[in-house]
Structures are given as C-alpha cells and as structure tokens.
Amino acid sequence: MCGIIGYTGHLDALTVLLRGLEQLEYRGYDSAGIAMLSGEGEDRLLIKKAGPVATLKDACEELEVRSHCGIGHTRWATHGGVNDTNAHPHIAGKVTLIHNGIIENYHNLIEKFGFRGSLVSETDTEVAARLLDYYYHGDPYEAIRKTIREITGSYAFCIMFEDIHDKIFCVRNVSPMVAAHMEDGSFVASDVTALIPYTKRYFVIPEYQIVTLAGDSVSVQDLKGDPVTPEMLEVNWNVEAAQKNGFPHFMLKEIHEQPEALRNTIMPRLENGLPDFSEDGIPDAVFSGCDKIAIVACGTAMYAGMVGKALIEPILKIPVSVNIASEFRYESPLVDEKTLVLVISQSGETIDTLAALRLSKECGAKVLSVVNVKGSTIARESDHVFYTHAGPEIAVASTKAYMVQLASLYLIGCRMSMARGKFTEAQARDFISRLTSSISAVQKILDNKKRIKEAAAVVAKAQDAFFVGRGLDYAFSLEGALKLKEISYIHAEAYAAGELKHGTIALIEEKTPVIALATQDHIYGKTISNIREVRARGAFVILITKTGAEIPEDICDIHFAVPVPHDRFTVFPVAVILQLLAYYTSDLKGLNVDKPRNLAKSVTVE
C-alpha cells in the first residue's frame, strides 16, 4: 500500500528514485511522484503524476537538474481521488513529505490547527506536512516529535526540509520502512526490493524512532534523542529474484518458481524424513500445550488457512477455526492461553492481520506466524515464526506464497500430530514422503500447461464463473475463485458443491464455466452428482480429478488430471492449474496481469 523510497549520497538521485519506484510499484500504482533538493540556495524540485511510474518517468525525461538527495512515492489512493494534486510528495512551507498509511484524526487536526481552506489536496498526508511545517523552526527532531504526538493512525513518513540540503528524516508507526547505508549513500524504502540493487544489508526502522539519512551515515535516535543501534538484517535472495527473467509477467515467473519455493521451504526442515523445527526455534510444547487452533489471515493467506483447517482438524480432533483478520479483531474472539493462534501472511505487514495478532497476545494466546518477509512486523511480534522461503513475490496476485503457506501448514500439521500422539513416526514419515512427492506433481502441471490456456480461452469469454468442490476441494476452490476474479475481473464464486442448489444454481446458464474439483475419493460420487446438476443446465464444465479417476461420459467439456495418488495432497498441483487458468484468462483479455486495477500488494491500511 504505497511505496516509498528516499536517497541521499553521491549517486544521481533521480536515477535511484525512479529505479526504486519501479521496484516498488506493486505496492500501489494510482500515481507517482518525486521531490529532490537541488542544492544550496536552489528550489526544491517536485514532479508528480496520476498514473503509473512510467508516466512519471516520461515527465522526468527532459529534466536537466541533477540532485543527490530526494524522495519518491507510488500511491494506492485512500483519501482523495486519483489525480496529480493528491499524488505525493506534498509540500507545506519548508516541508516536503511522503507517507504510507492513514492519519485517522486528520479531520480533527484540520480544525484544531485551522488548516481548513488552505489545503490544496484532499489527502490526510498534506495535513501531516502542514503540521510539521507548523512546528518546524529549524529543529527537525523537535518538529517530528511534536507532530507525531498529535497524530493517530499508521504512518511511514520520509521528510525533507527546504533548508537542510542533504538529509532525509524518517519516522514510522505500523507502516513498514527499511533503511540501509553503504559507500554509495543512504537509502530508505518501504521494503527491501528497492534496496537490493545496492545492498543486501539493511535494518527495519523501529517504530517511533527517528532515522536521519545523510550521505555518509544513517543514524537512529529515540524520541528522547538518545542514539539507538538498530539490528542489521541480511536478505537471502539476489537481484534476479526480483526481476522477470524472460517471463512476460512476474505472476507467470512466480508460478514457475513454485517447485523451488516448495523445496526451499520443506527440505531444510526435514531430519531423517521427519519434520524438525529446531532451527526455527519452535518447541513441541507450542503444539502440545493448546486445546484449540485459531488461524487468522486475509485473502489468499486465509484461503491457505482454510486448506490447513480441512487437513488438520480431522487428524488432531481439536477445534480449528479460520478467521478473517479484519473481522476477528472487532468480534471478541474466543481466544485464551490455551489457544494456538496461527497467523499467516506473505508480507508480514497486513495491518488487519497484525492487529489480530496483537489482540491474540493480549488474550494470552501463543502466536506462531507463517511469514515470507524476514524481519517484517508480524514476524517480529510473534512468539514463534515459521518462515516460508518463496523469495520476493512481486505480482499482486499471490501464487508461490500461497503454495509455501500450504506446505508450511502441512509441515506444522504433521509435527503437531506427532507431538500430540496422533501420528506415529511411521505415519509421519509416510505423510512427509507424500508431501515431498507433490513437488514433482507441481512440476508436471507446469510442463504440460498448454491445455490450461485452451480452457482459459473459454473462461475469458464469460461474465461469471463458479468453482465447486467438497471438503478439501472446496477449500482449494476458494483460492481458485479469488485468483480468477482479481486478475481477470470475471465475477467468480466458490461453492461447496452440495450447496449450489440452495440458490446459486439459478445463475447457471448455457456455457457458464463451472470449474469442478473432484479429487477426494470419499465424496467423489457426490461431487459428480452435483456436476451433473449444473451440466443439465448447460454449464461448461472444467473438471479436475486425480489421475486414474473414472470419468462418467459427458460429465465435462475439459478434463485435467493431477498426478497425486493421495487425496490430502492434491492441492499442490490443483493450485497450479487454477493459477494458470486465471493467468491465461487475464492475459487473453489483455489485462494488466501483475497490477490488477484497484489493488496493491501489501495492504497496510484497514
């Protein structure tokens, strides 16, 4: 949700900022802007444009001014429409500012400080710029301290003062921001993807501490002015991982990276064929000491949680709930000291998920998070972290992160079943061997993807699509529907196959695509009957079964088989089929696959 970048040093700031904004554009692409300090005695330079970073880049083409200090922003609009004026940076008096987050009390601040009538934009951010300027009398730290005392909400601010020519000041609450210093200068960004071309060593800016970026140093101080030494982190992937590497879209590249991501997530956690989390520092007591599990997440991560529940609950025989984070936090959840809260998040920054985590801890629960981004807020605030190793996920539509979230839940489920005496060692070994074999099934789907494109050609013509399945298949279909709707803009719904006839079947017309998942043996016959019901009403049926399943005559138009013999593990290849179906549908419709409308990658607003 909004990408921010700042640089000061001996490199050309414009080049660094535009490159950084391109890397961060997946965080928001409603508008983009930069501001640079062009040297002693000269004016600030401000260019901001509605539209993607490419539009800003075009506007900067003729620029002759060279600067070594500047800030840049790519926006996902919250307060105020998408236009040049509402784009960041915002200038007020001596202050130039960019912001990621939401200032909740900006209306009150406008009244309290008499800003009404003098603001030029409709944004909450401009109010923060005005407030900083109001408090600024030559001491940036005093102005920042006084400003954040007045503000409620979430923020990551990068601030330049007109009379301080080579420095950038940063402060944050909740919204993420990282910083780094190296020979070339000092950098700040919303996430490490923008820093990777320059360095792998960085630190997460601690909340409520003020970071000063100068050409030759980065320093951190707390609100009392005492120096702070931040904890340095190191990225374990390289710059190629954040590039398309010959693929037309990040999403397609990331779909193809799934076998490797699965290997990286599963293999280092196996010891003698059994799951072993000693390197993660997760003791078995976490698994044996609870009497229920509450999974909390948003979007795709929550749908991974739905699969986790359908897998784990029948084995452990304890209640497992799956909770939408944005609801959980306001609904007095049934969470106590005996609850294991499993938080799932790719970015580790989703604000609703973070708030749910904090609430769970207040209730005394132990929190184990499954997170992809090292050092993210959710990772830092959890009692235990299980890192997925997907590498950077750039496409807004989550694919490889979902895949490794699933793998993590399978590993956790297995270890927990052992710790609670539900799996013998032999059963656990068998489970793990089936899990690792699923990786080759994923690869086989990727190697034979051409037919999925043919199916997509039919789906691309539709206005609505339905995904149906029972049991685990229903859990898989939820993610299939989300993937299709978010990147193809086709209305898609997932239904428990037996539920369709209680209303939704009224929407089935001649040629309505129904993607039917029937990979679970014990309910295969029931699902087939439900498929007949839609077939009889003219649906175009794309059927997914296990290899070798008996397919009744004329039950479907297109059939895909997944080469996984055991029902519990079909999700891995099924997920790839559904991801590719969504990908090709979007691409055939000529849409922006990696940056679908209205969305952003990391949702750091409520």
* Residues designated catalytic: 2, 601
- Distance in angstroms (rounded) separating the CA atoms of residues 74 and 32: 4
Binding piece for ligand M6R, criterion CB under 6 A, among 17-25, 91-99, 278-286, 292-300: 292-300
**Contacting ligand M6R (CB under 6 A), which of 264, 346, 382, 604?**
346
List CB contacts of 550: < 8 A, sequence separation 6 or more.
none
Binding piece for ligand M6R, criterion CB under 6 A, among 151-159, 231-239, 278-286, 393-401: 393-401
**Contacting ligand M6R (CB under 6 A), which of 69, 316, 368, 396?**
396
**Contacting ligand M6R (CB under 6 A), which of 50, 261, 582, 603?**
603
Minimum distance between the CB of residue 376 and ligand M6R, rounded to whole angstroms?
A: 9
- Distance in angstroms (rounded) separating the CA atoms of residues 476 and 577: 11
Q: Does 586 bind ligand M6R (CB under 6 A)?
A: no
Judge contact between 565 and 555, C-beta under 8 A: no
* Comparison of 45 and 261: residue with beta carbon closer to ligand M6R: 261
Q: Does 393 bind ligand M6R (CB under 6 A)?
A: no
Minimum distance between the CB of residue 471 and ligand M6R, rounded to whole angstroms?
A: 23
Residue 585 token pair:
């549908």
Tallying the residues shown for the chain, one arrives at 606
Binding piece for ligand M6R, criterion CB under 6 A, among 22-30, 64-72, 78-86, 342-350: 342-350
**Contacting ligand M6R (CB under 6 A), which of 177, 397, 439, 575?**
397
Quick one: which of 180, 143, 185 has its CA closest to 166?
185
**Contacting ligand M6R (CB under 6 A), which of 74, 326, 350, 586?**
350
**Contacting ligand M6R (CB under 6 A), which of 98, 301, 316, 531?**
301
* Comparison of 346 and 586: residue with beta carbon closer to ligand M6R: 346
Residue 72 token pair:
């840049």
Bridge partners (DSSP) listed for residue 70: 7, 36
Binding piece for ligand M6R, criterion CB under 6 A, among 6-14, 171-179, 343-351, 503-511: 343-351
Provide the b/e sequence for 532-541 (b: ≥16 CB within 10 Å). Answer: ebbbeeebbb
3-state secondary structure of 64: coil
Minimum distance between the CB of residue 401 and ligand M6R, rounded to whole angstroms?
A: 6
Which region holds residue 348: left if phi is over 0, alpha if psi is between -120 and 50, else beta? left
- Name residues contacting ligand M6R, limited to 191-210 (CB under 6 A): none
* Comparison of 348 and 413: residue with beta carbon closer to ligand M6R: 348
**Contacting ligand M6R (CB under 6 A), which of 125, 193, 345, 369?**
345
Q: Does 341 bind ligand M6R (CB under 6 A)?
A: no
Q: Does 486 bind ligand M6R (CB under 6 A)?
A: yes
- Distance in angstroms (rounded) separating the CA atoms of residues 264 and 519: 26
Provide the b/e sequence for 548-567 (b: ≥16 CB within 10 Å). Answer: ebeeeeebbbbbbbbbbeeb
Type of residue numbered 217: S
Bridge partners (DSSP) listed for residue 202: 233
- Distance in angstroms (rounded) separating the CA atoms of residues 196 and 41: 33
Q: Does 376 bind ligand M6R (CB under 6 A)?
A: no
Binding piece for ligand M6R, criterion CB under 6 A, among 58-66, 125-133, 220-228, 296-304: 296-304
* Comparison of 153 and 176: residue with beta carbon closer to ligand M6R: 176
Residue 268 token pair:
């280092």
Q: Does 408 bind ligand M6R (CB under 6 A)?
A: no
Minimum distance between the CB of residue 546 and ligand M6R, rounded to whole angstroms?
A: 26
DSSP 117-176: T---SS-HHHHHHHHHHHH-SS-HHHHHHHHHHH--EEEEEEEEETT-TT-EEEEEESS-
**Contacting ligand M6R (CB under 6 A), which of 298, 312, 409, 543?**
298
Q: Does 126 bind ligand M6R (CB under 6 A)?
A: no
Binding piece for ligand M6R, criterion CB under 6 A, among 66-74, 154-162, 339-347, 450-458: 339-347
* Comparison of 69 and 370: residue with beta carbon closer to ligand M6R: 370
Minimum distance between the CB of residue 405 and ligand M6R, rounded to whole angstroms?
A: 8
Inter-CA distances, 466 with 195, 469, 557, Å: 41, 10, 15
Rounded-to-10 torsion of CA 100, 101, 102, 105 = -90
Q: Does 323 bind ligand M6R (CB under 6 A)?
A: no
Minimum distance between the CB of residue 393 and ligand M6R, rounded to whole angstroms?
A: 9
Judge contact between 508 and 480, C-beta under 8 A: no
Q: What are phi and psi of 222, to 5 degrees?
A: -85, -175
Q: Does 254 bind ligand M6R (CB under 6 A)?
A: no
Contacts with ligand M6R by CB under 6 A lie at 298-301, 345-347, 350, 353, 396-398, 486, 602-603
